[in-house]
Structure 1
């Protein structure tokens, strides 16, 4: 009895189709992941390229120092005080003949203040070199001068024989005060008040900047202009 041999065993076509679809799906997944990773790196690189670089803030310390010193305005570093007796007189005349003379002795007390005007500082006056600050101060000047009317007084007032001198007490007192003020400024300059003011201003500004955190401070000061001081008048 002859039997017909069975055909070789073959995978069903559906199974082959299923395996083929699975392989394609796996390939697509791998391809997607690869593209996603590459895309992420690309996005990161583009982001880095387009991102703004942060730089350290630049601060002009010179302007800060100028404002700090200008706030001190007029830095008074030396005061000269004196008390003096100043005579003043005025005569009454008719046709060139003196009828009487009014004399006044005024005891005046006043003060002369000297220092530097920090409001004159400019950007060129402050230099910053690494950690060192170099400041060039303006020349010391007379900042204020005045007569203390509460401590001044008329010591003697006379209109002469029969009071024939003019009654000009207030005018003579004002004249004496002006002469006293002029005399005080001249005396203060001769006593070196401007030199003292310049030296003390250097110390004061250096201490101010040192307390503000600047360890290396160098002060350069212009010499006082002594020719601007008035000439000492004669008191008679």
Structure 2
């Protein structure tokens, strides 16, 4: 029996040409539509130890809210200059330490009270990381994390230096008088005076 050549119709040729693409589309559909269930277990073990307990008698009397826009640059010999622009929010608090008041610091004479308060101090200066943000970076690439960390530290140093030059301690003295005077007057003393040692 003679072998005859089988001729595909034009429609069959198009079908066989599209068949691999059709199979690929169906496989992709099943792959994408299948829901993979990935169970992630997170476990943290803590061993907390209270290292020190301190009695704190610091009375916070004034708080400064500070904003700073900082451009921090890093130059090296073999890498291009990298820079980061930060918008920083910080706060500084002035206080007096009431634990430093001794019996000898309080003088009572009839209806007059004289209280010698300790010198005001800056309790802390800290960056508010929640409200601070990185505004822009240039050429930082893999150095971005360390560059941002450097910038925050530089900002904290600069803000601390500026706070020390500000009127925060004078304001703390004024507020100490305003806060404590009514309390002592409430004890029956008409004349109340404060000094700062």
TM-score normalised over the length of structure 2: 0.65
Q: Aligned Cα RMSD in Å?
A: 2.2
1:90 CA drift (Å): 2.5
Q: Report which of the two structures shows the higher radius of gyration computed on alpha carbons.
A: 1
Q: Which residue of 1 is the match for residue 72 of structure 2?
A: 88
1:196 CA drift (Å): 0.9
Paired residues in the alignment total: 143
Distance across 2 between alignment mates of 1:90 and 1:159: 10
Distance across 1 between alignment mates of 2:149 and 2:85: 12
Q: Which residue of 2 is the match for residue 107 of structure 1?
A: 87
Name structure 2 gaps, 5 residues minimum: 1-54
CA contact under 8 A between 2:59 and 2:98: conserved in structure 1? Answer: yes
1:147 CA drift (Å): 0.7
2:67 equivalent to 1:116: no
Alignment of 1:1-236 (within 5 A): 73-93=57-77, 98-159=78-139, 167-222=142-197
1:148 CA drift (Å): 0.7
Distance across 2 between alignment mates of 1:99 and 1:184: 29
CA contact under 8 A between 1:202 and 1:220: conserved in structure 2? Answer: no
Distance across 1 between alignment mates of 2:166 and 2:125: 15
Over 3 Å counting, the alpha-carbon distance change for 1:72 and 1:136 in structure 2 is: farther
Residue 177 of structure 1: SS of its match in structure 2? helix
CA contact under 8 A between 2:111 and 2:188: conserved in structure 1? Answer: no
Residue 80 of structure 2: SS of its match in structure 1? strand
1:103 CA drift (Å): 1.2
Name structure 1 gaps, 5 residues minimum: 1-70, 223-236
TM-score normalised over the length of structure 1: 0.55
Distance across 1 between alignment mates of 2:150 and 2:182: 42
1:194 CA drift (Å): 0.9
1:189 CA drift (Å): 3.2
Distance across 2 between alignment mates of 1:213 and 1:178: 49
Residue 168 of structure 1: SS of its match in structure 2? helix
Report which of the two has the higher share of helix.
1
CA contact under 8 A between 1:105 and 1:154: conserved in structure 2? Answer: yes
